[in-house]
Amino acid sequence: MADTVFSAKIDEDVKARFEAGAQAAGTTQKEFFGRLVAAYEAEQARQSTAQVKEIEQLRHHLARIEEIYISFAKGSQDRQGADAGRIQAAEDDATRAKAVALELNEQLKCVTEQAEAEVEAARAEAALARQDAAGEVHDAKEALARAREAQEQAVKLAALAEEATAAAKARAVDLEDLAGQTGQARKKAETARTDAEAAVKDAQDARAALAKQVADSKTALDDALQRAAERAEVDKERAVLAAQREAMDEIGRLREALAQAREEKAGLEVLIARSGKPVVPDRKAKQ
């Protein structure tokens, strides 16, 4: 039978009740109108027949069937609403996990840049330490050159002292020759000889003391130079190792946090897949 268009003017209250009844029954207004007509006809048949008991039973069973159907429809709607809520919650969790992963990536990038900056700073400090050590080496070399120059001057002074001693000895010999029989002249010669020998001894002692002082200064400078070089190298290695260790520790912590975020995201994707909604792969999170 072809469908025909039917229209009628009714009160707004009746219209609202009709629409609410159709919505509660889970059917269209057309089907609900047909049910109303069928119910009216059944009521008329019940009133016009003698088999009232059988019709009441049929009405009871029909009402029971309608109740079961309505309950099933409402349950289906509730389940769809709950599934939609779970899907929305899973999408929100996935969005938050993605935001956390992006934030962790940014933190990892910042920490890596900071670690590189610290390594560069450590390298600069090591270069500065090497420069300072080179300056100390230069100063030590200059001090050693001055010590050698002082030693050469001491050698020259010792030579002059030896020459003076030789001249004093020669003068003493001349005085002895000239003194002849004069005891006073002999005494002066002995005194001059004694003075010359004392001068020679003093010059030799001064030369030995100066040589020892120069040797001690050279040894001390060599030791100080060695210690400065070793200390600069150790400080450089310590600074670089400390910066690298801190950077690696921070990178390890960020990688663990990123792995945990990826695991949580994978769990959320599993939940979304179970709910029946297609999952769009997150290429940025995988990268």
Helix then strand count (H, E) for the chain reads 5, 0
Residues 6+ apart with CB under 8 A from 242: 122
**Is the pLDDT confidence value at 258 over 70?**
yes
pLDDT average, residue stretch 149-167 = 74
pTM of the entire predicted model: 0.30
pLDDT average, residue stretch 169-184 = 66
Decide if 274 is inside a domain: yes
CB 279 within 8 A of CB 272: yes
Of residues 203 and 128, which shows the higher confidence score? 128
The SS3 assignment for 276 reads coil
Mean per-residue pLDDT of the chain: 78
Domain count of the fold of the chain? 1
**Is the pLDDT confidence value at 163 over 50?**
yes
**AA letter at 125:** E
Q: How many CB atoms lie within 10 A of CB 217?
A: 17
**Residues 213-233: pLDDT tens digits?**
858 877 886 887 788 778 878
Decide if 220 is inside a domain: yes
The percentage of the chain sitting over the pLDDT mark of 90, rounded to a whole number, equals: 7
pLDDT of residue 28: 92
- The CATH number of whichever domain residue 233 belongs to comes to 1.10.287
**Is the pLDDT confidence value at 263 over 60?**
yes
Among candidates 206, 207, 226, 232, which has minimal Cα distance to 122? 232
Residues 6+ apart with CB under 8 A from 148: 214
Domain that holds residue 233: 81-286
pLDDT average, residue stretch 58-81 = 82
pLDDT of residue 49: 63
Of residues 200 and 216, which shows the higher confidence score? 216
The SS3 assignment for 147 reads helix
What HEC string does 153-172 produce?
HHHHHHHHHHHHHHHHHHHH
Decide if 1 is inside a domain: no
**Residues 131-147: pLDDT tens digits?**
876 777 688 688 778 86
pLDDT of residue 287: 46
Of 99-113, 127-141, 170-184, where does the model show the most confidence?
99-113
**C-alpha distance across the termini of the chain, in Å:** 62
- Distances in Å between the Cα of 271 and the Cα atoms of 58, 78, 283 are 46, 19, 19
The SS3 assignment for 30 reads helix
Decide if 231 is inside a domain: yes
pLDDT average, residue stretch 84-98 = 80
Confidence of residue 176 (pLDDT cuts 50, 70, 90): low
Decide if 76 is inside a domain: no
**AA letter at 153:** Q
